[in-house]
Chain A
C-alpha cells in the first residue's frame, strides 16, 4: 500500500508493521468486522420480528396458529445451535433449489438425489453457477441471517410471550371497560407496555447473539474468527513477504477487546432504553422515577 513496502524483508519495527497491517489479506480481516456488524444490524430486527410473530401466534385463540407458534418455540429452543446451523443451512438451501427446480425444469427426467449427490438443473441452482463470487457470498450471508433469525427468534418469542403475560391484568380490563376491541387492546395497551418486561430477556439474547457470530464460518461466511485464525497462523518466508511465527494469540486478543467493547456499548445503550421504557409504568422502576425529584 505504501511506497516503501516493495521489499518488506529490509524493513523493521513500525514501518514493517505498517506494511504488514495494510496487505490485501488484512483488508479482508477489516472488512469482516463490517460483515459481523452488518449481520447483527440485520439479524436483530429480523429475529425480533420472528419472535413477535411467534409470541403472537402462541397466544392466539385459534388452535392451529397457537399450535404452530408453540411448536416453533419448543423445537428451535430444544435443538443445539451447532446442530441447527450445520443441518439447517444445507436443508434450507436444498429446499430452495428443489422448489426452483420443480418450477423451472418440469421436463427433467433424472432423479434429484443420485446417491450422495443433490443434482438440480443448471437454471435452478441458487445462486446460478455462473454468478460472480460476491453473489455467492451474499447468498451465504442471507442464509446466515435467516438461520440466526429463526434460532434467536424462537428465544425472543418465549421472552415476549412471557412479557405479554406480565402486563398487569388490570390494564387490559380497563381497556375492555373503555370498549376497546381485542385487537385495539393488543396493539394500544398490551404491546406498548410489554417491552419493559421483555427488555432484560431481550438484552440477554442480544449479548448472546453478539458472541454467536463466529458460527458464521460454519455457514461459509468468512468472519473475524476465520481471518484471525488464518492471519495469526505461522507464515513461512517461502509463501509470504511477511513471515512470522504463531501469532494467533495476538489476533484473538484483538477480537477479545472488540467483543468486550461492543458488549459494553450495548449495555450502556440498553440501560438508557430501560430508563425510557420504564417511564410511566406501573412497576417499581416506574414508581421510583415518578417520585424522583426533577
Chain B
C-alpha cells in the first residue's frame, strides 16, 4: 500500500513537472480597453485576453497573465520576467531591433485625434500621447507640440482639463471613449501608422515565436480571429 502511494506521488510529481515546463507568462498593460483592461473582478480582460487564451489552447501551452507598466514592458521582457508581450503593441522597426514580433493579429488601425471641439489645429497644437508609442514618435517628428503621459487615462485627462488640445491614439480605443463622453469630438483627420499589432517575444525565443505564428495562422484560417476582432470592435478584419 505504502509503495503504491509513493509511486502515485512520484507519477503525479513527474507529470506535474513535464506539464509545468510549458507555462508561458503573458505580459500586458491592463489599461487600454478594448485591447486589454482589468475587469470588475480584478482580472485581465479584453480582446487580447480572449485571443491569448485561444492561442495558448491551440498551441497547447499553459498561460499565466501578468500586468506591467507600459514604460518598462520591453525591458522586463528581455530580462525574462515574462515571455510574451501582448499589449496592443504595433510592430515597428525600432522595436524590432530590441525584440522579435510574431505576425500581426490585427490590421493597422487608423490613428485618430480626439478633442473638446472640432476646430482644433492638430498640425500646430499641443497633442497628448502615451509615452513610447508609435503615436508619440509620429507627433515628435511633426510640427505639433508633444506632451507624453504614462497611461492612456492621463492623455484623456489632459484634454479634458485643457492641458492639451487633442489626444492622438488608436481608433479602437478613442472611439470607445468618445461614444460615452459627449464633450469629446472625434476629428476628421486620420493617420495610418505601424504594421499592425503583434506579440512581442525575446529574440532568443525563436521556438515560441514559431509556435504562436502557427496558432495565429490557424485562427486566421478558420475565421475565429476575425470574429474576435468584430466582437471587441478592434478595427477592420483580415481579408
Contact = CB atoms under 8 A, between A and B. Distances in A.
A125 B45 CA distance: 28
Interface stretch (B117-125, B153-161, B162-170, B217-225): B153-161
Contacts, number: 101
Most chain B CB within a 10 A radius of its CB, from A97, A117, A118: A117
Interface string A107-127: 000000011111110100100
A233 B30 CA distance: 12
Contacts of B64: 132-133
Interface string A193-236: 00000000000000000000000010010100000011001101
A243 B177 CA distance: 12
B40 A129 contact: no
B142 interface: no
A25 B156 contact: no
Contacts of A86: 72
A116 B37 contact: no
A93 B21 CA distance: 21
A267 interface: no
B151 interface: yes
A27 B203 contact: no
Interface stretch (B75-83, B85-93, B186-194): B75-83
A136 B27 CA distance: 13
A105 to B, nearest CB: 14
A118 B177 contact: no
B185 to A, nearest CB: 17
B38 A230 contact: yes
Interface string A16-59: 00000001110110000000000000000000000000000000
Interface string A234-251: 101111111100101000
A233 B153 contact: yes
Which bucket holds chain A's interface residue count? 35 or more
Contact of B80 (A120, A237, A246): A120
Contacts of A129: 21, 23, 25, 83
A94 interface: yes
Contacts of B79: 90, 93-94, 118
Contact of A24 (B30, B43, B160, B204): B43
B21 A116 contact: no
A133 B42 CA distance: 14
A116 B23 contact: no
A240 B180 contact: no
B68 A28 contact: no
A130 interface: yes
A234 B153 contact: yes
Given A116-B98, A220-B68, A239-B33, A24 B40 contact: yes
Nearest to B205: A117
A86 B80 CA distance: 16
B203 A114 contact: yes
B202 A119 contact: yes
A114 B160 CA distance: 45
Given A25-B38, A233-B153, A116 B78 contact: yes
A37 B178 CA distance: 39
Interface in B84-111: 98-99
B177 to A, nearest CB: 7
Interface string B15-31: 00000111101000011
B69 interface: yes
Contacts of B31: 230, 233
A240 B98 contact: no
B42 A24 contact: yes
Contact of B69 (A114, A122, A217, A241): A217
A25 B66 contact: no
Given A23-B40, A220-B76, 13 more contacts: A28-B42, A94-B79, A114-B204, A115-B204, A116-B99, A117-B78, A118-B78, A130-B20, A133-B66, A217-B69, A220-B81, A236-B177, A246-B156
18 contacts: A90-B79, A93-B81, A117-B80, A119-B80, A129-B25, A129-B83, A130-B23, A136-B66, A220-B81, A230-B30, A230-B38, A234-B181, A236-B33, A236-B176, A237-B180, A238-B33, A238-B179, A246-B156
